[in-house]
Amino acid sequence: MNNDFIKILAFEVRDDEKCFFEEAAKRLHLETVLRPDILTVENTAECQGFTGVTTLGMSRLSREVLDGLKQAGVKYISTRTVGYNHIDVAYAQSIGLHVSNAEYAPESVAEFTIMLMLLVLRKYKPAVYRQNVNDYSLGGLCGRTLKSLTVGVVGTGQIGQAVIRSLSGFSCRILAYNRSPRRELEPYASFVSLEQLYSESDVITFHLPLKETTRYMVNPHTLSLMKDGVVLINTARGELMDQKALIQGIESEKIGALALDVFEDERSIYHESRINDIIANRDMAYLRQFPNVAMTQHMAFYTESAVEEMVECGLRGIVEMHRNGCWAKELTAFTL
């Protein structure tokens, strides 16, 4: 099938993506239209005449949106993200819409994950606050070294693997949990049960897709299995962690430090300027004020190389589905 006639409507396009869209569209012989807004039920009719649409993770492709795309004649959907929990994939496939996701080098998220570990272990946030008021004292700022700790990695897909390999350079003890142990990681990590990982780890980092089996996997019960003062890192999906349990854990000091690049209900907050707005998310506001909690705006992926690869995957996925009638490989995500 000739891909010269492929027209793609791209949603959630940031300024930093535009040059990569232009380059990829020329290389793949595509016609692309770029929009900054998210894909909603209200604008699906505007997809009429386009072969495929591509979005990022803030668009919620519910049944209603998918029905609108189908009615508009769209055949293919790509998300320029690794995770695809924002798309009702099963329903899309049931009505004949093909879906693809993105792959990009895992180092962007892996390096950011380790940066967050170091940031909270070395109490960078309160140190910076003190400097802002000319307080250069050291009391309360004594940190810990990774070498002296046991780090648990939950999920060893591409990102989890990259985290483990990078952590090995710090000479810390590494525990890993995955549905199927990965033999290639055995020189770096010991694969154990999730319960053992929880009970023995000083630091735990999560690299999983959001599924019903992983939603709120950090909850009052699982926290009770962990060490007092455990350090938790989440650069995957906010819904992996029960916010109320996190708050209770910080208040009781069960959680010694917390670093979150993602947050439940982050949609319409992260990746936007809300500087003059009242943000109605009390849990977010309450958690961020603790000195041992570091929060960033879902930016672990955000490097030049990753952005370029995400755009390339977003367009190439639609091209391959158009050529082959389906995505050339199954949807990929970090696995459990």
pLDDT of residue 232: 98
What are 199-240's pLDDT values in tens digits? Answer: 999 999 999 999 999 999 999 999 999 999 999 999 999 999
> Domain limits of the chain?
3-104+303-324, 107-295
Residue 336 has pLDDT above 60, yes or no: no
Domain 3-104+303-324 and domain 107-295, same fold? Reply is: yes
Which helix (DSSP H) or strand (DSSP E) does residue 317 occupy?
helix 304-324
Q: pLDDT tens, 75-107? A: 999 999 998 999 999 999 999 999 999 989 999
From the candidates 86, 207, 298, 322, give the one annotated as an active-site residue: 298
pLDDT of residue 5: 74
Q: Which run of H or of E encompasses 150?
A: strand 150-154
> What are the pLDDT digits (tens) for 26-56?
999 999 999 999 999 999 999 999 999 999 9
3-state SS, one letter per residue, for 4-41 = HHCEEEECCCCHHHHHHHHHHHHHHCCEEEECCCCCCH
Q: Clarify whether 298 is annotated catalytic.
A: yes
Q: Would you say residue 73 has pLDDT above 50?
A: yes
Residue 113 has pLDDT above 50, yes or no: yes
Domain 3-104+303-324 has what CATH class?
Answer: alpha beta
Catalytic residue among 80, 207, 237, 322: 237
Q: Rounded mean pLDDT of 13-21?
A: 97
Helix (H, G, I), strand (E, B) or coil at 88: coil
d(CA 121, CA 292): 9
Q: Which of 29, 90, 87 is nearest to 60 (CA)?
A: 87
d(C-alpha 270, C-alpha 263), whole Å: 9
Question: Does the pLDDT at position 3 exceed 50?
Answer: no
Asked if 254 and 88 touch (Cβ cutoff 8 Å), the reply is: no
pTM for the model stands at: 0.89
In angstroms, what is the C-alpha Rg of the chain?
A: 21
Q: Is the pLDDT of residue 1 over 50?
A: no
Q: Which of the four pLDDT bands, split at 50, 70 and 90, describes residue 334? A: very low
The stretch 13-22 carries a mean pLDDT of: 97
Q: Is 42 a catalytic residue?
A: no
Read off the DSSP letter of residue 209: -
**Residue 183 binned pLDDT confidence (cut-offs 50, 70, 90):** very high
Q: Give Cα separations from 108 to 189, 299, 307 (angstroms).
A: 21, 9, 10
Q: How confident is the model at residue 267 (pLDDT cuts 50, 70, 90)?
A: confident
Instruction: Specify the 3-state DSSP secondary structure of 203.
Output: strand
SS3 of 1, please? coil
Q: Catalytic pick from 12, 239, 266, 309?
A: 266
22 has catalytic annotation: no
Q: Residue 335's pLDDT is what? A: 34
Over the chain, what is the mean pLDDT?
94
Q: CA angle 282-285-290, nearest 5°?
A: 130
Span 310-325, pLDDT tens digits:
999 999 999 999 988 6
Q: What is the mean pLDDT of residues 150-155?
A: 98
CATH topology for the 107-295 domain: Rossmann fold (3.40.50)
- Tell me what pLDDT residue 327 has: 56
